[in-house]
Amino acid sequence: MCGIAGFVLLQDAPPVTDHQARDVLAAMAGRIAHRGPDGRGHHVGLPAAFAHCRLAIIDLSTGAQPMAAEDGAAVVTFNGEIYNYQEVRRELQALGRTFQTRSDTEVLLQAYLEWGVACLDRLEGMFAFALWDVRRRTLFAARDRFGKKPFFYTIQQGVFAFASELSALEAVPWAAFSIRASTLARFLAYEYVPTPESIYAEARKLPPAQYLELHEDGTLLVERYWETPMPRPEGSKGFGRADEPALCEELRRLLTQAVRRRLIADVPVGVFLSGGVDSSSVAAMAGQLAPGIKTFSIGFTEASYDESAYAGRVAAQLGTDHQLELLSADACADLLPEVVSRFDEPMADPSIVPTYLLSQITRRQVTVALGGDGPDELLAGYEYYPGFKATQYWERLPAWLRRAAVAASGLLPGSAGYVNPRHVAQTFLAAAEAPAWLRTQRMLTALTPEAQRALWKSPGDMLEPTRLFASTKRLWEALPDWPPMARVFHLFAQQITYGYILVKVDRCTMLHGLEARAPFLDRDLAEFCFRLPVSMKLRGATRKYLLKEAMAGLLPQDILHRPKRGFLIPTAAWLRGRLRPLVDDLLHERRLREQGLFHPAAVRRLVEEHASGKKDHRKGLWTMLVLQLWLAGKPAVRIDPER
């Protein structure tokens, strides 16, 4: 796990000396030094120049980067881990390839030289890399199937620059960045910036499961190398109810294999353990393969938000070396400005603060941590899955009954707690009335187009749903032959897992030089989960059905069947209390007038309605607060009002 950066001079680039190139690389690497605290290297072979910040995990003594082939045919800078590198290495050796190190980086390099682009199909892991092919004078870069490792790039003034984080691109002297108002509107809707966009108009993200080839004349090719498997039809051979015992056994086998692959390291390895079924399943397999492995969790001194007892019960049953640290939930609020300021793009997931703290605590004892990311999206962990299913029945109800239900939803009680019944009902009803492609996103949206229209001074057409949610529509329409529920699983994987959850985990862990590994996103296991019929994931009201069946006997029943909660953060209460001074400062009329984007009176109404309890604006207000916090750290970046 590392940080990568570099650039390629195209035919119309300004003249650059080797000395100037090294200075640029040093500046870029300095911005992402937290991603690789164990070493720094660079390679200048213009027109290509690469930098690398190393977090040493495998082959601690000889795995330095950037790494050049022995004959000088190619050089690579690589971030991530290739879990099956030993098998691929043996295959390459059988073909006559020789190795100078024990590192997975050299396996990647030799695999490319042997198979070219086709090497990607042989690699299982998390990665983002850039490789300069000296003979072809071509840059080859790729990102893993699930986007666990980031890759940003920009082309300006004849220079192609890339990096693990946008902050490194900001150090490139040939690049300048601005922000479009339409991108801010999209952030306020999604709570993050969907791929392939970035927060900056001039920079893009290489999407997961895609690679690019760049030639010196500026020709850029971006292609997909892996597709999400389509679910099998209900009751198909091998996937019927009579096959459940065999499917449970296969799920356990694949999870064990995935965990075994991710335990390979030359540094200490631990497991994040929340006490939910996902992380507990990973801990169960890790405990069998590495008895006494360390597990880590955080709890809160406020009893209503503390779920650490569940993690403790799982750890006791599995016999892990459990590490628990209790924190104050209110104290977490005070960390919000620091955490937001350290993210290269704004992200409004409230759990970034506890994830950041958990990463900090875990890094004190281990360098690698296995986590439970993936099953919520792959195996129907969210309430949105049955919610979407219910919308299909909603369509069949008579219009008068639907109107009555909408009216009755306003009579439900409101709450500043974890669940607000009135808000949940109204969100569902709004989603049910939306087109099928938009329903899941309407359930998730922080600030709807209607809510944003009241806030923006000049919204133009940027809030039209087909434009605002263009990435959702594109993903939905890319699978016209898939059943609606299968499309929902694809949407959640592509948007929530790849573009949101994994980004949060990557940034929070790497800010502390900690490598996070996600066994459920092992290629073999994930493809198995994708192929499962919907009924194996969502059985009636039971979510993650097959996972819970597979783990029965290994985990306590109350752990398997307790409601999903995630990191409980009292955002609604914070915005009314502890964070109110920050809200008043960042959303002050003076600041908003200087910014020139939003109606101060409309924003103030949002704040006051939430503070009074009249309405629950926790998601929208929190997202607006995070945006303003992030923008406060970028005073020199121009915001383009063009819609």
pLDDT of residue 387: 83
Among residues 461, 480, 511, the one where a domain terminates is 461
Q: Is residue 279 in a domain?
A: no
Between CA 162 and CA 165 the distance in angstroms is 8
- Residue 64 domain-assigned (yes or no): yes
456 and 578 fall within a common domain: no
Q: What is the mean pLDDT of residues 349-369?
A: 95
The pLDDT value recorded for residue 423 is 61
Give the pLDDT of residue 493. Answer: 86
- Angle among Cα 502, 505, 511 to the nearest 5 degrees reads 135
Q: How confident is the model at residue 316 (pLDDT cuts 50, 70, 90)?
A: very high
Residue 47 has pLDDT above 70, yes or no: yes
Task: For residue 179, tell me if it sits in a domain.
Answer: yes
Cα separation, 58 vs 532, in Å, equals: 34
Is 2 a known active-site residue?
yes
Residue 285 lies in a domain: no
DSSP designation for 34: G
Which has more confidence, 309 or 420?
309
Residue 611, domain member (yes or no):
yes
CATH number at residue 45: 3.60.20.10
User: Is 298 marked as a binding-site residue?
Assistant: yes
Q: Are residues 200 and 51 part of one domain?
A: yes
Contact 77, 36 (CB under 8 A): no
Q: Is residue 116 part of a domain?
A: yes
CA–CA gap between residue 394 and residue 400 (Å, rounded)? 12
> Is residue 335, in this structure, part of any structural domain at all?
no
Q: Give the per-residue pLDDT at 409.
A: 63
Flag the least confident range among 305-309, 482-486, 587-591: 305-309
What pLDDT band is residue 352 in, cutting at 50, 70 and 90? very high
Q: What's the domain range around 169?
A: 3-224
Tell the residue number behind the tokens 């970028």, with chain if given: 634
Give the end of a domain, one of 161, 195, 224.
224
Mean pLDDT of 384-391: 82
Q: DSSP of 113-138, one letter per residue?
A: HHHGGGGGGG--EEEEEEEEETTTTE
Domain boundary among 224, 244, 261: 224
Hey, is 190 helix, strand or coil?
helix
Let me know if residue 121 belongs to a domain: yes
Across the range 388-400, mean pLDDT stands at 76
At residue 16, the pLDDT reads 96
Q: How confident is the model at residue 389 (pLDDT cuts 50, 70, 90)?
A: confident
**Alpha-carbon dihedral 522, 252, 542, 235, rounded to 10 degrees:** 90
Q: List residues bridging with 74 in a β-sheet.
A: 133
Q: What is the pLDDT of residue 344?
A: 94
Q: Please report, rounded to a whole number, the percentage of residues in the chain having pLDDT higher than 90.
A: 74
pLDDT at residue 497, rounded to an integer: 83
What is the chain's length? 643
- 620: tokens are 């929208």
Find out whether 146 and 605 touch, Cβ atoms under 8 Å.
no
Q: What's the pLDDT at 392? A: 79
Nearest to 633 by CA among 167, 238, 202: 167
Whether residue 372 contacts residue 314, with contact meaning beta carbons closer than 8 Å, is answered with no
Same domain, 575 and 457: no
Q: pLDDT band at residue 328, thresholds of 50, 70 and 90?
A: confident
Please tell me the predicted confidence (pLDDT) of residue 405. 66
Distance of alpha carbon 60 from alpha carbon 367, whole angstroms: 13
Q: How many domains does the chain have?
A: 3
Exactly one of 2, 53, 119, 248 is catalytic; which is it?
2
Average pLDDT, the chain: 92
Sheet containing 152-156, strands listed edge to edge, beginning at the edge strand earlier in sequence: 39-45, 48-54, 2-9, 159-163, 152-156, 203-205
